[in-house]
Structure formats: structure tokens, C-alpha cells
Amino acid sequence: MIPFLDLKKLNQRFDKELQSSLREVLENGQYINSSAVDAFEKEFAAYCGTHYCVGTASGLDALTLILQGYIHLGRLKKGDQVLVPSNTFIATIFSVIKAGLIPVLVSPDERSFNIDLKGIENSYSAKVRAVIVVHLYGQLSDTCPILDFCRSKDMLLIEDAAQAHGARNSSGSKAGSLGDAAAFSFYPSKNLGALGDSGAVTTNDAQLAEQVRLLGNYGSRKKYHYEAIGANSRLDEVQASWLRIKLKYLDSDNQRRRDIAYRYASSINNPKIRLPEFKGLEDHVFYVYVVRVDHRDEFINYLNSNQIESHIHYPLAPHLQQALLRFNFDPCPVSDRIHQTVVSIPLNPILTDEEVQHIIEILNAY
């Protein structure tokens, strides 16, 4: 069986370095907000091209703290509307609700899976005060025209960059630096994955960075003194030490992902399988490689019978999830079509050339 992603094998590449860094943390004796977190925040900010990075406990917390931070700064207020893609992972929408704001679902472009300026303009009203773009599956949204539109309406542009670590636009700017603030997840399966839950916020806004750090530390700057009702959402010292190691290999891993994606794009030729958009550029880092098929169950059974594991990102659109039914979102037919037809096939840095070739042959024979 070719697994969808073998996390044990993925991380065994760094075994000696991971064990060495763990010993350093143990010997340091400081396990919360110590030297490894400080170092990783500086290194990841520099990598993304921002002035600030603040570690959090998860990607969901990172997005929520951005929104809460802007409320504390007066840039947003409870009840404001926020535009979000209708086909995103549900955490994007949860963050808006948890912050006391109202999500408005925007239909994506069906080719790129991302929202674009046209969709944002169609969904805009005077009640909308922020836009969250999601670089879904690892492909950058076209943020330049969206940012211009946001500036013209005095709106915030926030990136959900949880799947796009290292993606770079044609100007050389990376995910995490393309809007007012960005949220990252370092969930273990991500391109830059920890060995547990963790996340981060990147921004050039010193005031927002300060608020995110404050709110993620119980609303406290000084121990036992609390300025706001905050949360316990801090990047773990051990995870930070491991992320520092894996960050060194992120660009080469992303290049391997693109190389495999290019092989898929150039070699898979089957009218029953619709391949994802890929220009061969660094704007896509292929967190997952998502194809579309009309008879998904049949296709997945075919892959299983040929020893290829697959996943679905994601099987049910957010507006159909039980947790969100009370919001009575408008119908999202484009999102429905996407969620009903997507299948993620294996694509990761540890796939061998032989495994890639086998996958190509099996898909062509479908």
C-alpha cells in the first residue's frame, strides 16, 4: 500500500536533530515561552518576510486571536461581517464566530478553489469589515487586487495560510506577508508540521502582534496581572525547537512536492480525472494534490484495490455542517460541486519516483 502520508517516515529523516533539540529543551529547564519559541518566532518571521511572528497553540487559535486583536484595537467590532470562502476547512469559519463576528460565505473560483476579486465584490456590503483569503491546498490566492479592493473600502485582509507555508508570488513575497496579518497551522501533516498541534500569527503590525501575544497569554503581560479576558494559546517550547529544525528543510521539501505535481500534470492523461491548476510556479506548494472525479466512491475503491491510499479534503461543505446550520447560509452550488467531487491522492516529499510512477499508471488505467 502506498500511504497517503506516512508521518513516521516523514519525521524519521530528522530523528537525530529532533532528539538533540529535545535534550536541549530538557537541559534548559524552561518549558513555556523560552528560548526556542523566541528563536522560532524570529526565524519564521524572517522566512515569511514580516516584522513579527507570535506562536499560538493551533491554527484556529491563530485566526481567532487575529480577529480578537483587531476588536481590541478598534479595527473591528462585535457583529461586523467577515467574508470567508464557502469551501474552506471549517476552522476558518469557526474563528470568525468565536471572535463574535459574522461569517459571510463567498463562492470560490472553481478552477483554483480560491476566492477571487469578483466573488468578493459580489458578496461585499457596508457591513463587511474584513476578508479572510484561504490559500487552499497550498495555492496562493491572487491577493494583490483583493488587497487593493480592501484598502479602497477600509477593510482588513487576513490570510489563512495554514496550508501554504513557503508559497511565493511572482514578486517574491511569501504567504504570511500578503495582507494585514496571517494565521498558520503547524499540524503534523502540514508542509511545515510539528509533532503535535501548534500555530502562529505573522504580521507587520506591531500593535496587533502585541495584542495577539497578550490575548494568547491569558490577557496578561505581567504574571498574575490581567488586562483582558484572554486564552491559554502559546506555542509549546518543544514544538518550537522541532519546528526550527524542519524549517531548514521546508523549501527543498516544497520543491520536491512541485516536482511530483509536475510529473502528475504532465503524465496523467485520463478524461475521467480533472487535475488541479498548476502553472509550475512557486505560488503552489501542494499541501495536498486534489483531483476531481464524477464517481468518487468508485474511484476511491479503485485506488484502494490498487494499493493507493487517498483522502477527501473535504467531504461536506461548511454550510451543510450541523454546527453551522443555524446560520442559514445562502446556497453554495459551486462549493457543493467541489466538495462532492474532490479526492486527494498521495503527494509528499518522501514519495519515491517508483511510487509516483505507479500512481500515474494506475490513474491512467482508471
SS3 12: helix
Class of domain 250-364: alpha beta
Which residues 6+ apart lie within 8 Å of 283 measured at CB? 139, 140, 167, 168, 169, 170
pLDDT at 278 over 90: no
| pLDDT recorded at residue 64 | 98
Per the listing, cell 443555524 goes with: 326
- When computed from its CA atoms, the radius of gyration of the chain, rounded to whole angstroms, is 20
pLDDT tens readout for residues 2-23: 999 999 999 999 999 999 999 9
pLDDT at 47 over 90: yes
pLDDT tens readout for residues 209-255: 999 999 999 999 999 999 999 999 999 999 999 999 999 999 999 99
Cα 50 to Cα 339: distance, rounded to the nearest angstrom? 34
What's 324's DSSP letter?
G
* Local confidence band at 90 (pLDDT 50, 70, 90 cut-offs): very high
Strands (E), the chain: 52-56, 81-85, 102-106, 128-134, 156-160, 181-185, 199-203, 289-292, 342-345
Per the listing, cell 496562493 goes with: 140
* Local confidence band at 280 (pLDDT 50, 70, 90 cut-offs): confident
Domain coordinates of the chain in residue numbers?
7-247, 250-364
- Give me the mean pLDDT over the 299-321 stretch: 97
- pTM beyond 0.95, yes or no: yes
**Residue among 56, 113, 115 at smallest CA distance from 104:** 115
- Give me the mean pLDDT over the 108-131 stretch: 97
Tally the residues of the chain. Answer: 366
| pLDDT recorded at residue 279 | 86
Contact (CB, 8 A) for 247 and 43: yes
| pLDDT recorded at residue 163 | 98
**Mean per-residue pLDDT over the chain, rounded:** 97
Parallel, antiparallel or unpaired: strands 181-185 and 199-203: antiparallel
Cα 19 to Cα 27: distance, rounded to the nearest angstrom? 12
- Give me the mean pLDDT over the 193-201 stretch: 98
* pLDDT over 90, % of the chain: 99
Contact (CB, 8 A) for 56 and 234: yes
Question: Rounded to 5 degrees, what angle do the CA atoms 105, 106, 107 make?
Answer: 120
| pLDDT recorded at residue 212 | 98
pLDDT at 96 over 90: yes
| pLDDT recorded at residue 277 | 87
pLDDT at 283 over 90: yes
The CA–CA distances, whole Å, from 59 to 55, 106, 190, 260, 323 equal 10, 21, 11, 27, 19
CB atoms within 10 A of CB 159: 28
The CA–CA distances, whole Å, from 8 to 2, 3, 28, 77, 250 equal 14, 11, 27, 44, 17
Class of domain 7-247: alpha beta
- Give me the mean pLDDT over the 57-61 stretch: 98
pLDDT at 146 over 90: yes
| pLDDT recorded at residue 300 | 98
Helices (H) and strands (E) in the chain, counts: 13, 9
